[in-house]
Structure 1
Amino acid sequence: MSDLSPTERFSDRVADYVRYRPDYPPALLDWLRREHGIGPDWRVADIGAGTGISSRLFLDAGHEVVAVEPNAAMREAAATWLGANPRFSVVDGRAEATTLSDASVDLVCAAQAFHWFDQQAVKPEWRRILRQRPDGTPGRVAVYWNSRRLAGTPFLEGYERLLLDYGLDYSSVSERYGDDDHMRRWFGDGLRGMARFPHSQRLDFEALRGRLLSSSYTPRAGHPRHAPMLQALEHLFEATAMEGQVDFDYDTRIFVGVPD
C-alpha cells in the first residue's frame, strides 16, 4: 500500500498523466450550457486541476479559468500546456483552502481529483468563492469524473483483473469514488441535476501502457510487481486488440448544484 499523501501520489507520473489520461466528452459541456445556462462568460475555478485536462475543456469553450492545484509538478505541467492562453491562470492551493477571493468565480468544477478531497471541508470554502450572477442566478458547483467500465468486453474485464492482481492499493482507491446516492447526499437539497455520458479512448499498446502507469496505484519500475504487470498487460493486449488498438471505455458522470 502506498503511504503517499493525495497531493504527492502523482508527482512521478506527470508525463504519463499528460499524454495518456482521457479528456471529457463535449456532451458534458453541451449539457451544462443547455440545462444550467452556464455560458462562456462564467468564470471557472478548476479545483484539483492537475495537468489541466478539465481546464482545457472550459478554455476551449471561451471561459476564463483559474486552476487550483497543490502539486508543484502538475501545476508546472498545466502552466506549460495552457499558460499561453491569457484566460488561464494557475495557483498553489488546495480544495479546502483555494487561496481565491470571496465571491470571485461563477462555477466551481472538480473532476477526477474530487475523491481525494475532504468532502465536508470543501463545502464552506466553495460556497465562499462562489458569487451570484448579475442576473440573480446563483453560482454552481459541477463535480464530474470518468468512471472506467469494469465489464462488457474481454479487454475491460481483463484489465480489471490485472489491476486487482498487481495494483498496490487499487481496491482502497477505487472505493473512494462515490456512487449516485453518495453524490445526492453530498449535494443534499442543493442538487440541481445529474447526467451520464459515454466516453472512450482508442489506445495502441504504447498508449495503453502509459494509461496504466499514469494510475497512482500501479507499481513503478523497480517494484517486484512492475515487470510482471507489464507482461500481463502485453498478453491482454495481444489477446483482445482489434487492428492494433483496444477501446478503453468510460461513463462520464456529472452532478451540478450547490452543496448544502
Structure 2
Amino acid sequence: MNDLAPTERFSDRVADYVRYRPDYPPALLRWLQDEHGVDAGWKVADIGAGTGISSRLFLDAGHEVVAVEPNAAMRQAALEWLGGNPRFAAVDGRAEATGLDDAAVDLVSAAQAFHWFDQDAVKPEWRRILRRHADGKPGLVAVYWNSRRLAGTAFLEGYERLLLDHGLDYSSVSERYGDDAHMRRWFGAGFRGMARFPHGQRLDLDALRGRLLSSSYAPRAGHPRHAPMLAALEDLFARTAVDGRVDFDYDTRIFVGVPE
C-alpha cells in the first residue's frame, strides 16, 4: 500500500512527472472557446496544478493563470517552468481552501488531480471564487483528465496487467476516477456539457519507464516489487514496440458547468 496523503504522493516523482506525463489536446481548449464562450480575457484558477501541465495549456492561449498547488516540490517545478511568464502565479492552497479572494476568477480548471479532492467540499469553495460576468452569469468549472485506454492493443492490455500485478494500490486509485454519469450527478443542475478527445504519447523505452515511475502507485527503487515491475515493463516493450516506440493512448474527457 501507499499510505502517503494525496498532497504528498508525488513529492519524490516530480522529475518523472515533468518529463513524462502527457499534456492535454488543443481541441479541449477550442471546445471551451467555441461551445462555452471562454476567451483569453477569462482569468483561470488551475486547482491542483501540479507541475503546471494544465496551466501551460491556458497560458499558451493568452489567459492569466493562478496555479493552486499544496505540494511544495510540484509548485516549485511549475514556477521554474512557467514563472517567467508575467501572466502566471502559483500559490500554496488546497482545492477545498484555495486562499483566493471571492469572485477572483472566471474559470476554475481542475485536471488530473480532481480525483484526489474532497468532491463535496470543493463545491462551495469553487462557487465562491467564481465571479459573475456582465450578463449576470457566473464563470465556469472545467474538470478534465486523460483516461488511459485499457484495451485495443497488445501493449495497452499488457500495461494494464502489469499495473494490476505490480502496482501498490493501483486498483483503489483507478477507481477514484468518475465515469460520465458520476460527473453529471456531481454538477447537478449546473451541468453544461461534456466532450471527449483522443490523445496520446509515442514513447521509447526510457520514456515509458519514466511514465510508469511518475505514477503514485508504482513502487520505488528498493521496494520488492520495483525490479520485477521494470523487468516486466522491458519484456512488454520488447514484445509490442514498433520502430522502437509504443503508443500510449488516452481519451481526454472534459465536463463543464457550475456545480450545485
TM-score range relative to shorter protein = over 0.9
Moved more, 11-20 or 131-140: 131-140
Distance in 2 of aligned mates of 1:134 and 1:13:
43
Distance in 1 of aligned mates of 2:207 and 2:110:
25
Structure 1 residues 174-189: aligned runs within 5 Å: 174-189=174-189
Distance in 2 of aligned mates of 1:29 and 1:134:
23
Distance in 2 of aligned mates of 1:134 and 1:209:
49
Aligned-pair distance for 1:136?
A: 3.2
Structure 2 unaligned spans of 5+ = none
Structure 1 unaligned spans of 5+ = none
Moved more, 126-135 or 201-210: 126-135
Q: Which digits, 9 at most, give the CA deviation of each residue in 1:20-66, with x for residues without a partner?
A: 00000000000000000000000000000000000000000000000
Aligned residue for 1:38?
38
Aligned residue for 1:55?
55
Distance in 1 of aligned mates of 2:37 and 2:136:
12
- Secondary structure of the 1:219 match is coil
Distance in 2 of aligned mates of 1:67 and 1:8:
17
What amino acid sits opposite 1:167 in the alignment? G
Q: Which digits, 9 at most, give the CA deviation of each residue in 1:226-259, with x for residues without a partner?
A: 0010000000000000000000000000000000
Distance in 1 of aligned mates of 2:227 and 2:54:
32
Aligned-pair distance for 1:135?
A: 3.8
- Secondary structure of the 1:7 match is helix
Aligned residue for 2:227?
227
What amino acid sits opposite 1:87 in the alignment? R
TM-score (norm 1): 0.99
Aligned residue for 1:121?
121
Q: Which digits, 9 at most, give the CA deviation of each residue in 1:114-166, with x for residues without a partner?
A: 00000000000000000012343420000000000000000000000000000
Q: Within the alignment, does 1:103 sit opposite 2:103 as a pair?
A: yes
Q: Which digits, 9 at most, give the CA deviation of each residue in 1:90-112, with x for residues without a partner?
A: 00000000000000100001000
What amino acid sits opposite 2:111 in the alignment? A
Q: Within the alignment, does 1:194 sit opposite 2:194 as a pair?
A: yes
- Secondary structure of the 1:239 match is helix
Aligned residue for 1:89?
89
What amino acid sits opposite 1:208 in the alignment? L
Paired residues, number:
260
Identity within the alignment, % = 83
Aligned residue for 2:212?
212
Aligned residue for 1:161?
161
Aligned Cα root-mean-square deviation (Å):
0.5
Aligned residue for 1:13?
13
- Secondary structure of the 2:147 match is strand
Distance in 2 of aligned mates of 1:66 and 1:134:
22
What amino acid sits opposite 2:19 in the alignment? R
Aligned residue for 2:257?
257
- Secondary structure of the 2:259 match is coil
Distance in 2 of aligned mates of 1:236 and 1:145:
25
Distance in 1 of aligned mates of 2:66 and 2:73:
17
